[in-house]
Amino acid sequence: MIRPKMQDSKNSSLEVLVPRALVGCGERIAGANVTGEGLCSLKINLKDGFVANIEPIENPNNHSLEILLPRLVESHAHIDKAFTWKNFPNLAGTYAGALEANLKELQLRTKESVLMSAEKALSLSVRNGFRALRSHVDSLGTSADKTWQVLLGLKDEWKELIHLELVALVPLNYWNTQEGNSLARKVASEGECLGGVLTPPFKEEEVRNDLQHLCRLANELGCGLDLHIDESSQEPGAGLKQLLYVLDLMQLDVPITCSHLSSLGLLKPRLLEYFSNKLLQHQINVIALPLTNAWLLGRSKGFRTIKRSIAPISQLQNAGVNVAIGGDNVQDPWFPGGDFDPLMLMAFSMPITQLAPWNRFGIAPFTTAPSRIMDLEWDGTIDIGSPADFILLEANTWSEALFLQPKRKIIIKGKFLEENFFEVDKRRNDLL
Ligand SMILES: [Zn+2]
């Protein structure tokens, strides 16, 4: 078990600015001052790792207040291949180039390389303020067993600091094979999820059969589903159309998430409305991944209209669909940037998605929405009785918080995490 260096909070009360949309205690804070950016001036008392009381601060101008956020949730990552850009770059920045480099890396993957990637990813995630992370895992080929063994070991090692959830990522038709069936049973025995990739072009009938088989398997084993679907700038919504066809025919008894849905942003309004309502009807969660989509998709040469394949987050939210935003790839062939930093993800996403954290729909994709997708005990709303798990920022406006890289303190169960809480290099040998 990782035993991080923690410091007791000297003072068990925090005087802070909290996004109004994330404060859950209604009447009790009715008189609190709220800034134009929706930040609520509050005194939060902590006891035994939980919030014991919340009250408004009467004269906020007389206090030095800092922004307090709940620790955040990364609902879509790939920690098995993070930081492989250096050896497997995709300089053209295309989807095809990324896949090619990824497959090369997969052939050379070792237990050591997965451990280095994943442990660095978890360490950064904790230090930067994530409390839970869902990672897709390349599960095809000879390295799959080793990869799962390392990641399940890390999941247990790190469980006090961060909740890790895994999704087996394979081509959709792999689940029809004997090897796919064995993989699904292993994944189910560990309580993890099944995944797959559904991106055009494809043969409709084959894809429907594959989806039907996968949904039946998920029902039988009780595994949640999370698909990479319509990560494309071609044939808008083609993959989702096939999924909806299958779900209209059968009852799916497990939670389902569609990651990407980038090409939905290219649909005509009436079709987008239709798909949004169907997503709601089938209780399908959506995880938008604006950074990788903005980088990889819709590249064109010559004089052509620029089309951005980005999931239409606001439209889906307005239809009632639960939408999270994830970071997806970090410094691997699919995306050269990222650092498992929720604030960097929020800052990068802002101009691409045009969502602002001072609005409820702007903050939900990083807090309550991914918590629901991962079925976490706490949805990130700060209320009496909620865990004292916070990010405290040396900032008092959203501009400073997101764009000035302010100092941050991480509070876990009411205690401050010390800097350099974990030296990755010292631990590696113990885990191999
Ligand atoms: Zn992904």
pLDDT tens digits, one per residue of 321-339:
999 999 999 999 999 999 9
> Which residues lie closer than 8 Å to 224 by C-beta, 6 or more apart?
193, 194, 218, 254, 255, 256, 257
**Distance from Cα 257 to the centre of ligand 1, integer Å:** 12
**Distance from Cα 391 to the centre of ligand 1, integer Å:** 26
Token pair recorded at residue 393:
């920022």
Mean pLDDT of 37-48: 94
Residue 93: per-residue pLDDT: 96
Same fold, 6-71+381-417 and 72-355: no
Question: Could you tell me the fold of the domain covering 6-71+381-417?
Answer: Urease, subunit C; domain 1 (2.30.40)
Confidence of residue 12 (pLDDT cuts 50, 70, 90): confident
Token pair recorded at residue 152:
């399940």
Mean pLDDT of 226-246: 97
C-alpha to C-alpha distance for 153 and 169, rounded to whole angstroms: 19
Confidence of residue 26 (pLDDT cuts 50, 70, 90): confident
Mean pLDDT of 403-426: 84
C-alpha to C-alpha distance for 324 and 286, rounded to whole angstroms: 6
Residue 11 reports pLDDT greater than 70? no
**Distance from Cα 21 to the centre of ligand 1, integer Å:** 28
**Distance from Cα 333 to the centre of ligand 1, integer Å:** 12
**Distance from Cα 134 to the centre of ligand 1, integer Å:** 10
Residue 428 reports pLDDT greater than 60? no
**Distance from Cα 228 to the centre of ligand 1, integer Å:** 6
Give the start-to-end residue ranges of the domains of the chain. Answer: 6-71+381-417, 72-355
**Distance from Cα 4 to the centre of ligand 1, integer Å:** 29
Residue 313 reports pLDDT greater than 90? yes
Residue 123: per-residue pLDDT: 94
User: pTM, whole model, 2 decimals?
Assistant: 0.95
Mean pLDDT of 180-197: 97
Residue 40 reports pLDDT greater than 70? yes
- DSSP letter (8 states) at residue 25: -
**Distance from Cα 327 to the centre of ligand 1, integer Å:** 9
**Distance from Cα 80 to the centre of ligand 1, integer Å:** 11
**Distance from Cα 287 to the centre of ligand 1, integer Å:** 10
Confidence of residue 64 (pLDDT cuts 50, 70, 90): confident
Strands (E), 240-288: 256-260, 284-288
Residue 303 reports pLDDT greater than 90? no
**Distance from Cα 59 to the centre of ligand 1, integer Å:** 46
**Distance from Cα 370 to the centre of ligand 1, integer Å:** 15
Residue 393 reports pLDDT greater than 70? yes
For 347-359, the pLDDT digits (tens) are 999 999 999 999 9
Mean pLDDT of 182-186: 97
C-alpha to C-alpha distance for 326 and 335, rounded to whole angstroms: 13
Q: How far is CA 297 from CA 238, 290, 307, 311, 380, in A?
A: 16, 10, 9, 12, 32
| Mean of per-residue pLDDT scores for the chain | 93
Whether 260 and 334 have beta carbons less than 8 Å apart is answered as no
What are the helix (H) ranges across 27-173? 95-107, 111-128, 144-157
More reliable by pLDDT, 28 or 283: 283
**Distance from Cα 192 to the centre of ligand 1, integer Å:** 16
Share of the chain above pLDDT 70, in %: 95
C-alpha to C-alpha distance for 228 and 111, rounded to whole angstroms: 25
**Distance from Cα 353 to the centre of ligand 1, integer Å:** 18
C-alpha to C-alpha distance for 126 and 121, rounded to whole angstroms: 9
**Distance from Cα 78 to the centre of ligand 1, integer Å:** 6
Residue 25 reports pLDDT greater than 90? no
Residue 129: per-residue pLDDT: 97
Confidence of residue 61 (pLDDT cuts 50, 70, 90): confident
**Distance from Cα 303 to the centre of ligand 1, integer Å:** 30
For 109-120, the pLDDT digits (tens) are 999 999 999 999
**Distance from Cα 77 to the centre of ligand 1, integer Å:** 6
Mean pLDDT of 167-195: 97
**Distance from Cα 55 to the centre of ligand 1, integer Å:** 41
Residue 304: per-residue pLDDT: 84
**Distance from Cα 260 to the centre of ligand 1, integer Å:** 8
**Distance from Cα 163 to the centre of ligand 1, integer Å:** 18
Confidence of residue 73 (pLDDT cuts 50, 70, 90): very high
Mean pLDDT of 81-96: 96
Residue 423: per-residue pLDDT: 64
Residue 301: per-residue pLDDT: 80
**Distance from Cα 136 to the centre of ligand 1, integer Å:** 7
**Distance from Cα 128 to the centre of ligand 1, integer Å:** 20
**Distance from Cα 432 to the centre of ligand 1, integer Å:** 26
Mean pLDDT of 154-177: 97
**Distance from Cα 267 to the centre of ligand 1, integer Å:** 22
Residue 10 reports pLDDT greater than 80? no
C-alpha to C-alpha distance for 35 and 132, rounded to whole angstroms: 29
In this structure, whether the domain defined by 72-355 belongs to CATH 3.20.20.140 is answered with yes
